Amino acid sequence: MDMFTLRRIKLSDVAFGKQTCIKKGVLFINKDEMIQNLLDDNHLKNVDIQLARPGESKRIIPVKDVIEPRVKLEEGVDTFPGIFSDADYVSGKGTTIVLEGVGVVTSGKIINFQEGLIDMSGPGSEYSVFSSNLNVVLVIDPVDGLGKHEHERAVRIAGFKAAHYLGMAGKTASFDQEVRYPVNEIPELVTRYPDLPKIVYVCQVIAQGLLHDNYIYGLNAQGCLPMLVYPTELMDGAVLSGNCAAPCHKHTTYHHQNNPIIEDLLSEHGKTLNLMGVIIAPVRTALHEKERIGNQVLKLAEMVGAEGAIVSEDGGGNPEADLMILTRLFEKNGIKTVLVTDEYAGSDGASPGLADVTPEADAVVTNGNGNHKVVLPPMSETIGHLECVDIITGGHTGSLKPDGSIEMEIAGVMGSTNELGMENLKTVAI
């Protein structure tokens, strides 16, 4: 049995300094060096780095992705496999250094209307877990004339490079906590816990094109069939976000790295359940693709003897057809299924919350209603481009008021109804 270790360094502040390093719980960043590192990409014209701490009167908009700095302790392998090196090794083993409490946030000129905001204080901060991070914000300008897809890729890679650059500072710093996870093979799982229910977790990853994509070991998930992986592989960046779904339920890279469903299942593994693995399930657009992927997911679940499954959604609307196809397949083949999603149920909550339903879906956890309306007060400082609020998901023409306040749906707040359950709302059964 192999082991996977998260070596956590808990940080209390972030500041610019002469050297990128960690001292007494503070992450110091050599701003000029970090910017030059990012400008090696000739698709980028300019990069600025700004800091946003919890409680500050700052608004970050438009946000594209959030990444937690992580690097491998061992030489020859790394986090974000397939990005900085060939994906010729299996992630999720060995020791990974984590800069806990830090988020690399990519921002700058808007690429797609499905980008969101993070408020560091006020009522907007209550809807986003990212408001409690020490955020290192990359404000990125592409070169003139760059197309949307090239722009998205350049910003995405810049975020990973920045997270890797900061993570390297943790290699020489003392750590605060080590969390160890077993990495088990299937025969070992079957024999070690024969009396516990065998569970699989199915994690949807959007793979729909038009800036709605995720990346598995660096490969666009559009070209992938479902994969059975160790739960710890996602903690090492085996799945990375290039996904411009609505901000409220977009899975950022940070969400994949810190997937709370995986963490909760691992905490119960060997106690109340036997976690047989995680199935990464791409979400395509056409019905025949959804049916093909659903049958492949069922095959993998049956191969490991699954008796129960948790299935989390990625995005909204179209992916709900995949949820229901899979639920029907699982339930009809004796695999009890729980769905984890969110809703678009209208501002009054009275409209149907999901685009598709099936009678077999009788166990559903919802993480909130993206149509819920809020008024966000003005902030003293904006990082990025405030005018974008009138066109992003959740906003509308006139959302931005003359005094700088914003009237919008929480659909525009990053992670407000996250479908992995990493958010501040709570579900109440009635």
Q: What is the pLDDT of residues 28-54, one digit of tens each?
A: 999 999 999 999 999 999 999 999 999
Q: Angle at the Cα of 380 (from 374 to 385), degrees rounded to 5?
A: 75
Compute the distance between CA of residue 364 and CA of residue 342 in angstroms, rounded to an integer: 10
Among the residues of 139-286, which ranges form H helices? 148-167, 186-192, 231-235, 253-257, 260-268
Give the per-residue pLDDT at 14.
98
Compute the distance between CA of residue 175 and CA of residue 353 in angstroms, rounded to an integer: 44
Compute the distance between CA of residue 216 and CA of residue 229 in angstroms, rounded to an integer: 11
Q: 12 falls in which pLDDT band (50, 70, 90)?
A: very high
Decide: 343 and 370 in contact? Cβ < 8 Å.
Answer: yes
pTM: 0.96
Give the per-residue pLDDT at 211.
86
Q: 351 falls in which pLDDT band (50, 70, 90)?
A: confident
Q: Is the pLDDT confidence value at 293 over 90?
A: yes
Average pLDDT of span 120-137: 97
Q: Residues with catalytic annotation?
A: 244
Give the per-residue pLDDT at 1.
73
Domain ranges of the chain: 2-412
Average pLDDT of span 50-64: 97
Decide: 52 and 135 in contact? Cβ < 8 Å.
Answer: yes
Give the per-residue pLDDT at 350.
83
Give the per-residue pLDDT at 430.
65
Compute the distance between CA of residue 352 and CA of residue 289 in angstroms, rounded to an integer: 25
Q: Is the pLDDT confidence value at 428 over 80?
A: no
Q: 86 falls in which pLDDT band (50, 70, 90)?
A: confident
Give the per-residue pLDDT at 27.
98
* HEC secondary structure over 369-381: ECCCEEEECCCCE
Residue range 303-344, pLDDT digits in tens: 999 999 999 999 889 999 999 999 999 999 999 999 999 999
Compute the distance between CA of residue 160 and CA of residue 295 in angstroms, rounded to an integer: 33
Give the per-residue pLDDT at 245.
78
Q: 84 falls in which pLDDT band (50, 70, 90)?
A: confident
Give the per-residue pLDDT at 182.
93
Give the per-residue pLDDT at 427.
65
Region of residue 64 (phi > 0: left; psi between -120 and 50: alpha; otherwise: beta): alpha
Cα–chain-centroid distance for residue 90?
A: 20
